[in-house]
C-alpha cells in the first residue's frame, strides 16, 4: 500500500460486508419466491371462485400468469396498479390529470380483481386494462416484455417484493401514490426490517397522505428525499351530476319523507351490531329505512338472510324496487354505487370501525364530500389524520358500541338542522384539504420526462 494513503475503517467494513449483504438479500427474495409459488394456487382459487355480484375472469385468467395481450397504441406507457374497486375509483382523478398533462403517454391500469377491472372498463375509451401478474418473476418479466412501461405508479401500499424488483431491474422509476402507513403497520414492519428494506430500497418516490405517514416511513429507513406529503387524493373527489341525479331518483323511490341512513362498507361481525342499533332506532322512528352496504360482494346473500332472520323486511337493489314502502332494509347488493347510496341518505355510519382493530375503518371522505352527517366506530386507524380533522371540526361523530350508534343516529335523523350543521362542517374540511391530485401530478414530473 502506498505511503500516506489513509484507510477509512467504516468504508472498508462496508466494502467487505457488501457481498454478504447482497447474497442475503438474494436469499430472502428466493425464499419469498418459493413461498409465493407454493401459495399461488390457493390465492388463485380464492380469486377465481365464483361469488354473487362478482364478474367472471373468463379467458383473461391467463393475464395473471403474464400472458398479456400487447397494447395497440404506440405511445409510451404509464403503468398504474390499483388492486381492486376502491383503489381503482380513487385513482381516477390522478389518471384524468395525467391524461391531460401527458397526452404523449397512454395509460394502463392493472388490477388484481375482476371487480376492479369492471370499474376501469367504464373508462375504456381512454384507459387500457390488464390483470396484474402473480408476484413471480417469470410472470412479471413476461408482462414487462410485452407492455414495456416507462414507469410504475402504485396506489396506496400494494407493495409486492418481486413486482418491485422486476420493475426496478427493467429500469422503471417507481412511485407510490396516496401512501398511507398506520402506526400499527409501521410497528409490524419495524419487527422485520430486513423484509421492509427489500421493498424500501426500490421505491423512488412516496407521495404521502399526511405528515404522520411520512414520519413513519422515514423512521423505517425511507430517505426523506423520497418522501413528499401531498395530502389524500380522495379529498379531491368530485361528485358528478349523474351521481346526484341517480341518488335523487333512488331517494324518491325509497320515500322522501322517511328517515334514511346508510351503514356503509360493513364487515362480518359488524352487521349484527348495525341491525341491533336499527332495531333500537325503530322504537323512536318506526318509519326509518336502513340502506345496508356490505363491504364484500360474496356476503350479499348471507346478509339478505341475516336481515330476514333478524325480523326485517328486505329489498335487494339487484331485484329492482317495490315502491310500497314496506321495506325496512334496502340491501345494496351491486358494485360501484356507494356514492349513489350515500347521496340518497340523511346520515351515514361508516363501517369497518366497530369490530376491534381488525379493519381500521373506511373512507369517510365520500360522505363528507356529500355533506352527510357521519358516524364512525372507534377503530379508524387507517384514516387517523382526516378523521381527527373531521372530529375536531365537529363533522364526524364517534360511537363505541351498538347502543351508542342507535342513540347518535336517532339524534341525527330527528334533527335536520343538526344533520346539516355536521354535514357542512365535514364538507368544509374536505374543501380545505383539496389539491392533492394537482400536487401529485406535479411531483411526478421528474419521473415522466416527455419522450423524444
Which of the four pLDDT bands, split at 50, 70 and 90, describes residue 83?
confident
Domain assignment present for 378: yes
User: N- to C-terminal Cα distance for the chain?
Assistant: 49
Question: In this structure, is residue 286 part of a structural domain?
Answer: yes
Which stretch of 46-60, 75-89, 97-111, 180-194 has the lowest confidence by average pLDDT? 46-60
Q: Which residues does the annotation mark as catalytic?
A: 87
Domain for residue 57, yes or no?
Answer: yes
Q: Residues of 13-38 as b/e, b for ≥16 C-beta within 10 angstroms?
A: eeeeeeeeeeeeeeeeeeebbeebee
Angle separating helix axes 114-121 and 85-101, nearest 10 degrees: 40
Lowest mean pLDDT among 10-24, 36-50, 239-253, 383-397: 10-24
Q: For the whole prediction, is pTM greater than 0.85?
A: no
Residue 41: per-residue pLDDT: 86
**216 and 360 together in one domain:** no
Cα–Cα distance for residue pair 133/140, rounded to 1 Å: 6
User: What is each CA distance from 181 to 178, 206, 268, 360, 413, in whole angstroms?
Assistant: 10, 11, 24, 12, 35
Structure-block grid coordinates of residue 72 = 395497440
- 212 and 301 part of one domain: no
pLDDT band per the 50, 70, 90 thresholds, residue 218: very high
321 occurs within a structural domain: yes
Same domain flag for 281 and 230 = no
Is residue 13 a part of any domain in this protein?
Answer: no
Does 6 map to a domain?
no
Number of domains in the chain: 2
Question: What would the pLDDT profile of 3-41 be if each residue is shown by its tens digit?
Answer: 333 434 444 334 433 343 446 667 777 888 899 889 888
Task: Please give the average per-residue pLDDT across 254-269, as a whole number.
Answer: 95
Q: Which residues of 368-395 are buried (b: 16+ CB within 10 A; e: fewer)?
A: bbbbbbbbbbebbbbbbbbbebbeebeb
- Domain holding 367: CATH number? 3.40.50.2000
**pLDDT of residue 310 exceeding 60:** yes
- Cα 144-225-447 angle, rounded to 5 deg: 35
In a domain, residue 151? The reply is yes
Residue pointed to by grid coordinates 391531460: 100
Whether pLDDT at 1 is above 50: no
Q: What is the mean pLDDT of residues 33-50?
A: 84
Residues 220 and 256 in one domain: no
75 shares its domain with 140? yes
Q: Do residues 207 and 67 both lie within one domain?
A: yes
> What CATH number did the domain enclosing 231 receive?
3.40.50.11720
**Are 77 and 104 in the same domain?**
yes
What mean pLDDT do residues 305-321 have? 90
- At residue 134, the 3 state secondary structure works out as coil
Sheet arrangement for strand 227-229: 128-131, 106-111, 77-81, 149-155, 174-179, 205-208, 227-229
- What nine digits make up the cell of 85? 374497486
Is 398 within 8 Å of 391 (Cβ atoms)? yes
Taking residues 363-380, report their average pLDDT: 95
Contact between residue 237 and residue 207 where contact means Cβ atoms under 8 Å apart: no
Residue 136 to residue 67: CA distance in whole angstroms: 13
Give residue 229's pLDDT band: very low, low, confident or very high (50, 70, 90). Answer: very high
Average pLDDT, the chain: 89
Q: In what order do the strands lie in the sheet containing 289-294?
A: 314-316, 329-331, 289-294, 260-266, 347-350, 373-376, 396-398
Average pLDDT, integer, range 388-407:
97
pLDDT value at 236 more than 60: yes
Please indicate, yes or no, whether residues 280 and 387 belong to a single structural domain of this protein.
yes
Residues of the domain holding 228? 24-40+50-236+435-447
What pLDDT, on a 0 to 100 scale, did the predictor assign at position 451?
Answer: 44
What phi, psi does 24 have (nearest 5°)?
A: -65, -45
Question: pLDDT band at residue 53, thresholds of 50, 70 and 90?
Answer: low
- Going by their DSSP bridges, the two strands 373-376 and 149-155 should be labelled as unpaired
| Per-residue pLDDT at 430 exceeds 90 | yes
Where helices occur in 182-237 by DSSP H, the ranges are: 183-191, 193-200, 211-219
**443 and 421 part of one domain:** no
Residue with cell 400468469: 65
Using CA atoms, how far apart are residues 190 and 213, in angstroms rounded to an integer? 14
Q: Which residues fall within 8 angstroms of residue 59, CB to CB, at 6 or more apart?
A: none
Say yes or no to pLDDT of 323 above 60: no
- Clarify whether residues 227 and 248 are in a common domain: no
Q: What is d(CA 280, CA 289) in angstroms, rounded to the nearest whole number?
A: 13
**Counting every residue, how long is the chain?**
452
- With respect to residue 16, please indicate whether it lies within any of the assigned structural domains: no
Give me 310's grid cell. Answer: 333478524
Mean per-residue pLDDT, 428-441: 94
Summarize the confidence of residues 335-357 as an average pLDDT: 93
Residues 274, 173 share a domain: no
Q: Which of 44-48, 108-112, 117-121, 313-317 has the least mean pLDDT? A: 44-48
Looking at the fold, whether 329 and 411 belong to one and the same domain comes out as yes
pLDDT of residue 382: 85
Rounded to an integer, the average pLDDT of 79-100 is 92
Amino acid at each position: 500500500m502506498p505511503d500516506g494513503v489513509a484507510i477509512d475503517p467504516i468504508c472498508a467494513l462496508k466494502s467487505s460486508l457488501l457481498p454478504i449483504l447482497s447474497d442475503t438479500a438474494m436469499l430472502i427474495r428466493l425464499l419469498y419466491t418459493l413461498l409465493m409459488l407454493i401459495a399461488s394456487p390457493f390465492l388463485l382459487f380464492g380469486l377465481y371462485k365464483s361469488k354473487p355480484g362478482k364478474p367472471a375472469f373468463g379467458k383473461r385468467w391467463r393475464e395473471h400468469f403474464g400472458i398479456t395481450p400487447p397494447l395497440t397504441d404506440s405511445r409510451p406507457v404509464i403503468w398504474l396498479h390499483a388492486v381492486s374497486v376502491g383503489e381503482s375509483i380513487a385513482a381516477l382523478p390522478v389518471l384524468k390529470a395525467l391524461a391531460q398533462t401527458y397526452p404523449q403517454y397512454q395509460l394502463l391500469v392493472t388490477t388484481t380483481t375482476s371487480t376492479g377491472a369492471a370499474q376501469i372498463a367504464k373508462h375504456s375509451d381512454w384507459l387500457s386494462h390488464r390483470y396484474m401478474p402473480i408476484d413471480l418473476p417469470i410472470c412479471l418479466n413476461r408482462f414487462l416484455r410485452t407492455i414495456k412501461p416507462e414507469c410504475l405508479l402504485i396506489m396506496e401500499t400494494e407493495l409486492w417484493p418481486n413486482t418491485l424488483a422486476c420493475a426496478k431491474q427493467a429500469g422503471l422509476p417507481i412511485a407510490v401514490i396516496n401512501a398511507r402507513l398506520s402506526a400499527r403497520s409501521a410497528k409490524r414492519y419495524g419487527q422485520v426490517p430486513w423484509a421492509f428494506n427489500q421493498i424500501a430500497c426500490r421505491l423512488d418516490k412516496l407521495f404521502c397522505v399526511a405528515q404522520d405517514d411520512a414520519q413513519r416511513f422515514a423512521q423505517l429507513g425511507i430517505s426523506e428525499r423520497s418522501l413528499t406529503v401531498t395530502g389524500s387524493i380522495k379529498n379531491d373527489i368530485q361528485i358528478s351530476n349523474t351521481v346526484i341525479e341517480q341518488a335523487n331518483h333512488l331517494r324518491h323511490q325509497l320515500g322522501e319523507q322517511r328517515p334514511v341512513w346508510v351503514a356503509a362498507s360493513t364487515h362480518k361481525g359488524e352487521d349484527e351490531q348495525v341491525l341491533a342499533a336499527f332495531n333500537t332506532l325503530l322504537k323512536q322512528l318506526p318509519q326509518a329505512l336502513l340502506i345496508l352496504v356490505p363491504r364484500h360482494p360474496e356476503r350479499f346473500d348471507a346478509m339478505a338472510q341475516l336481515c330476514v332472520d333478524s325480523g326485517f323486511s328486505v329489498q335487494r337493489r339487484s331485484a329492482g324496487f317495490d315502491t310500497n314502502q314496506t321495506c325496512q332494509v334496502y340491501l345494496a347488493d351491486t358494485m360501484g354505487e356507494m356514492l349513489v347510496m350515500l347521496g340518497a341518505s340523511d346520515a351515514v355510519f361508516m363501517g369497518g370501525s366497530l369490530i376491534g382493530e381488525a379493519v381500521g375503518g373506511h373512507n369517510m371522505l365520500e360522505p363528507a364530500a356529500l355533506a352527510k352527517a357521519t358516524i364512525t366506530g372507534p377503530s379508524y386507524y387507517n384514516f387517523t389524520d382526516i378523521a381527527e380533522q373531521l372530529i375536531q371540526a365537529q363533522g364526524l361523530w364517534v360511537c363505541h358500541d351498538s347502543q351508542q350508534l342507535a342513540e347518535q343516529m336517532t339524534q341525527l335523523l330527528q334533527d335536520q338542522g343538526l344533520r346539516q350543521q355536521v354535514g357542512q362542517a365535514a364538507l368544509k374540511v374536505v374543501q380545505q384539504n383539496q389539491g392533492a391530485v394537482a400536487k401529485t401530478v406535479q411531483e411526478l414530473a421528474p419521473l415522466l420526462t416527455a419522450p423524444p
